[in-house]
Chains A and B, each alone.
Chain A
Amino acid sequence: MRIIAAYNKAVRLRHIGHLDIVRAMGRALRRSGLPVAYSQGFNPHILITFASALSTGFAGTAEVMDVTLTEDVAVEEFLAAMNRALPEDMQLSQAKIVTDVKMPALMALMAAADYEIRLTDASQAAVLAEKLDAFMQREHISAIRKTKSGEKECDIRPLIHAIRIEGDTVFACLSQREGDSCKPDMLMKALFDFAGMESGRTMVTRHTLYGEKNGALTPIMEL
Chain B
Amino acid sequence: MTNMNDKIEAMLEKVQKASRYTGGEMNTAIKAWKDAELHFAFCFPDTYEVAMSHLGMKILYGLINDQPYSLCERVCMPWIDMKELMENEDVPLFSLESRTPLCDFEVVGFTLQYEMSYTNILAMLKLGRIPLGREERGENDPIVVAGGPCAFNPEPISDFIDAFMIGDGEEVMLELNEVIRDGRREGASRAEILRRLAHLRGVYVPSLYEVDYNEDGTIAAHRPLCEDAPEKVLRCIVTDMDSAYYPTSIPVPYTEIIHDRIMLEIMRGCTRGCRFCQAGILYRPVRERSLERLVYLAKELEKNTGYEEISLSSLSSGDYSCLPELIRALMKELEKQRVKISLPSLRLDSVLKDSLEETQKTKKTSLTFAPEAGSQRLRDIINKGVTEADLMEKVSDAFAGGWSSIKLYFMIGLPMENEEDLDGIADLAQKTIAQYFALPKVQRAKGLRVVCSASSFVPKPFTPFQWAPQDTRDTLMEKQSHLRDKMKGIKGVTFNYHESGLSFLEACVSRGDRRIGRVIRRAFEKGCYLDGWTELFSYDKWLEAFAEEGLDPAFYAHRERGRDEVLPWDFVDCGITKQFLWHEKEKAERGEITKDCRLGCNGCGMQRMKGVCSFCG
- A contact residues around B26 at 8 Å (CB): 24, 27-28, 31, 85-87
Interface string of B1-33 (1 = CB under 8 A from A): 000000000101100001100111110100000
Of the candidate stretches B301-309, B390-398, B410-418, the one touching chain A is B301-309
A26 to B252, CA, bound (A): 12
Q: Which 9 A-B pairs have the closest CB atoms?
A: A30-B306, A27-B306, A15-B18, A31-B306, A16-B254, A20-B254, A87-B26, A12-B24, A89-B24
A residues apposed to B, CB below 8 Å: 10, 12-13, 15-17, 20-21, 23-24, 26-31, 33, 38, 42-44, 57, 85-89, 120, 201
The residue from A13, A16, A26, A44 contacting B306, defined by CB atoms under 8 A apart: A26
Query: On chain B, which size bracket covers the interface?
Result: 20 to 34
Known: A27-B306, A29-B306. A20 touches B25 (CB 8 A): no
CB-nearest residue of chain A to B15: A15
- Assess whether B19 is in contact with A20, with CB atoms less than 8 Å apart: yes
- Assess whether B306 is in contact with A87, with CB atoms less than 8 Å apart: no
- A contact residues around B28 at 8 Å (CB): 87
Is B255 an interface residue, CB under 8 A from the partner? yes
A109 to B308, CA, bound (A): 31
- A contact residues around B256 at 8 Å (CB): 20
- B contact residues around A29 at 8 Å (CB): 306
CB-nearest residue of chain A to B21: A15
- B contact residues around A43 at 8 Å (CB): 363
- A contact residues around B24 at 8 Å (CB): 10, 12-13, 87-89
- A contact residues around B23 at 8 Å (CB): 12
Apart from A12-B24, A86-B26, 6 more pairs, CB < 8 Å: A13-B24, A16-B22, A31-B303, A31-B306, A85-B26, A201-B13
- A contact residues around B337 at 8 Å (CB): 30
Those of B104-129 within 8 Å (CB) of chain A: none
- Assess whether B363 is in contact with A42, with CB atoms less than 8 Å apart: yes
Those of B47-91 within 8 Å (CB) of chain A: none
Is B559 an interface residue, CB under 8 A from the partner? no
A87 to B252, CA, bound (A): 10
- Assess whether B254 is in contact with A24, with CB atoms less than 8 Å apart: yes
- Assess whether B22 is in contact with A15, with CB atoms less than 8 Å apart: yes
- B contact residues around A16 at 8 Å (CB): 19, 22, 254-255
- A contact residues around B18 at 8 Å (CB): 15
A204 to B24, CA, bound (A): 19
Is B598 an interface residue, CB under 8 A from the partner? no
A38 to B13, CA, bound (A): 36
Counting chain A CB atoms within 10 Å of each CB, the highest count among B252, B302, B304 belongs to: B252
Counting chain B CB atoms within 10 Å of each CB, the highest count among A30, A86, A89 belongs to: A30
- B contact residues around A17 at 8 Å (CB): 19, 255
A87 to B337, CA, bound (A): 21
Is B498 an interface residue, CB under 8 A from the partner? no
| 13 interchain pairs, CB-CB under 8 A | A12-B22, A13-B24, A15-B19, A20-B19, A21-B254, A27-B307, A27-B308, A30-B306, A31-B306, A33-B303, A87-B26, A87-B28, A120-B10
The residue from A13, A42, A57, A85 contacting B254, defined by CB atoms under 8 A apart: A13
- Assess whether A44 is in contact with B25, with CB atoms less than 8 Å apart: no
Known: A12-B24, A16-B254, A85-B306. A44 touches B19 (CB 8 A): no
Is B446 an interface residue, CB under 8 A from the partner? no
Interface string of B189-215 (1 = CB under 8 A from A): 000000000000000000000000000
- B contact residues around A15 at 8 Å (CB): 12, 18-19, 22
The residue from B10, B22, B338 contacting A44, defined by CB atoms under 8 A apart: B338
Q: How far is the CB of A135 from chain B (nearest CB, A)?
A: 26
CB-nearest residue of chain A to B255: A20
A88 to B29, CA, bound (A): 10
A31 to B252, CA, bound (A): 11
- B contact residues around A120 at 8 Å (CB): 10
- A contact residues around B303 at 8 Å (CB): 31, 33
Known: A27-B305, A27-B306. A87 touches B25 (CB 8 A): yes
A120 to B13, CA, bound (A): 12
A13 to B21, CA, bound (A): 10
CB-nearest residue of chain A to B23: A12
A57 to B14, CA, bound (A): 11
Counting chain A CB atoms within 10 Å of each CB, the highest count among B12, B19, B255, B306 belongs to: B306
- A contact residues around B306 at 8 Å (CB): 26-31, 85
The residue from A12, A27, A33 contacting B252, defined by CB atoms under 8 A apart: A27
A24 to B13, CA, bound (A): 22
Interface string of B132-157 (1 = CB under 8 A from A): 00000000000000000000000000
A44 to B363, CA, bound (A): 10
A87 to B23, CA, bound (A): 11
The residue from A31, A44, A57 contacting B305, defined by CB atoms under 8 A apart: A31
- A contact residues around B305 at 8 Å (CB): 27, 31
Q: How far is the CB of B440 from chain A (nearest CB, A)?
A: 22
A13 to B338, CA, bound (A): 28
- A contact residues around B22 at 8 Å (CB): 12-13, 15-16
- B contact residues around A201 at 8 Å (CB): 10, 13
CB-nearest residue of chain B to A16: B254
- B contact residues around A44 at 8 Å (CB): 338
Known: A12-B23, A15-B22. A31 touches B304 (CB 8 A): yes
A85 to B26, CA, bound (A): 8
CB-nearest residue of chain B to A44: B338
Those of B313-347 within 8 Å (CB) of chain A: 337-338
Q: How far is the CB of B341 from chain A (nearest CB, A)?
A: 16
Those of B284-298 within 8 Å (CB) of chain A: none
Q: How far is the CB of B13 from chain A (nearest CB, A)?
A: 7
- B contact residues around A28 at 8 Å (CB): 26, 306
Interface string of B249-284 (1 = CB under 8 A from A): 000101110000000000000000000000000000
Interface string of B337-368 (1 = CB under 8 A from A): 11000000000000000000000000100000
CB-nearest residue of chain B to A88: B24
A33 to B25, CA, bound (A): 19
- B contact residues around A13 at 8 Å (CB): 22, 24, 254
- B contact residues around A10 at 8 Å (CB): 24
A200 to B307, CA, bound (A): 40
A26 to B254, CA, bound (A): 11
